[in-house]
Amino acid sequence: MINQENLEKLAKGLAKQGIDISQVVALMEYLSEDENYRALEDADYTELSPEFINNVGPFLDLDSRMAIFDKILAGKEDWHLLKGLGISFTLVENAVIEGSLPTEVLVYLREE
């Protein structure tokens, strides 16, 4: 298993070649934190947390991200998950215009 020091060394070495694996490093850090590990171990995965989606979102394929977006539009998942999904802002704007999402979503997505 790769440790944090070696992962950081790998990330710095690849960065010199123009390859950014910062998202991988962030995911590894997230998964290695004891409280997150225990939460994932105990999870039943019936609800998705924004923190979890923010960390794994960059690694989801388009179909997975759109499946979550569809659940948000249907009211089955919290719209706070949108920030981590990387869904096109135009799609979200259209959903707000159609009344599928509240206008607060637009303000939320613009916040850091």
Is the same domain home to 12 and 67?
no
Q: What is the pLDDT of residue 41?
A: 76
Q: What is the pLDDT of residue 112?
A: 67
Is the same domain home to 21 and 51?
no
For residue 83, pLDDT beyond 70:
yes
Is the same domain home to 25 and 62?
no
Number of domains into which the chain is organized:
2
Is the same domain home to 103 and 91?
yes
pLDDT tens digits for range 13-63 = 989 999 998 888 888 888 788 777 777 777 777 778 888 888 888 889 899
Q: How far apart are CA 22 and CA 30, in angstroms?
A: 12
Q: What is the pLDDT of residue 50?
A: 86
Is the same domain home to 112 and 58?
yes
Is the same domain home to 20 and 64?
no
Domain that holds residue 51: 46-112
